[in-house]
Structure 1
Amino acid sequence: MPNIDKFIIGFDHALRTLLTPAQTLRPVPGTELPESELNDWEKRQSTALMRVNHVGEICAQALYQGQALTAHDADVQETLAQAAREETEHLAWTERRIAELSGRKSMLNPLWYGGSFAIGALAGMLGDKWNLGFLAETERQVESHLAGHLKRLPHNDGKSRAIVAQMQIDEAGHATTAMSHGGAELPSPVKLMMKLGSNVMTRTAYWV
């Protein structure tokens, strides 16, 4: 496929990610659970954390689009595409939960998307083994971040907790798949920079 076609498809994907409701094939985790009575602080906490998770899924879509654009191998592109499909479901889950909590999504989503797309494209240019290694490390850090959210979410907010728990399982699977397809372990300084960048995003998205 000519590069211009990839750019057109990527631009269309960006618009759909940012402007249209995401869709999910799997049932939303926790749908069967009753809505809990949350006090004002608990509701604000759940809403803020789910907004952070939604931003993470916006970034994931952009990263995978950027990585797929510059990936060399068709199998690598398919691995990225499969991960992106599952991340689209996560996007739908978090978006729906934010609405149920009468919250709002981050006002900086276009900025998060653009920056993540550029990072993903750069990762792909470095070669497929580093591209997959970047995917794996991203998912490991997201898995750790979600574990932290399970500790911070109100214990009686079963719906949000069910969504985050399933997302954590999926992210771990993405990391394993990426490494099994030939991903290389990233140098420690790169992992640290990724973690620092992630911290800036999560702290900002919690409020904005």
Structure 2
Amino acid sequence: MSWLADWAGYLPQMMSGLSVSLMIAAVSIVVGYPLGLVLSVMVSQKNLILRTIALAVVEVGRGAPALVILYLFYYGLPKFGIAFDSITAACLALIWNAAAYSSEIMRAGIQSVARGQREASNALGLSQRDTFFRIVMPQGMRSAIPGLMGVAIQMFQGTSLAYAIAVPELMKSAYNIGSEDFNYLEIFVLAGVCYAVISMPATWISVFFEKRLGQHT
């Protein structure tokens, strides 16, 4: 019970860090997903230059650890005269990460649309643009929803890496509180609970959508 009493006192300070974590995650998703869609389309192009550029961006974003990308933006770019504050660097790193992962999920969803539907739309006289935006993309995005929700959870949890560059997010707030009395066990357990309270319901929603989509299919 003493832990619960202590947690009640810690929570107001933790909430400021949690709000920063949620903000960074929201920016990475809102900006990263549209970029992911653009990359997924570029990867599918016949133009070798566009395809190569998109593949490079996607593979680096997926292959390099998010912490490495974070350090690249915060510590690496100032060497070339490009400096970002810690929150901006964290947002940019997770945007790249979100775009890279979501692009592959979206590309898989788009490719899952039956070829016959494209042929039917061509027979009806629809242009390639209309076929993609009115027929292919809506169905592809629908099947990509569970995967994209999983990436969103990953982005929220990934905000904890921003602690490494002193972003005042949830983990940084937890560390600051713990350093006051060195009661790190209690405060880090509370931080884990805060992450779980948001991540677990999001996971359940993702599973629900996946089951509904499976039943519909």
Larger Rg: 2
Which of the pair is proportionally richer in helix? Answer: 2
TM-score (norm: length of structure 1): 0.30
Normalised by the size of structure 2, how large is the TM-score?
A: 0.29
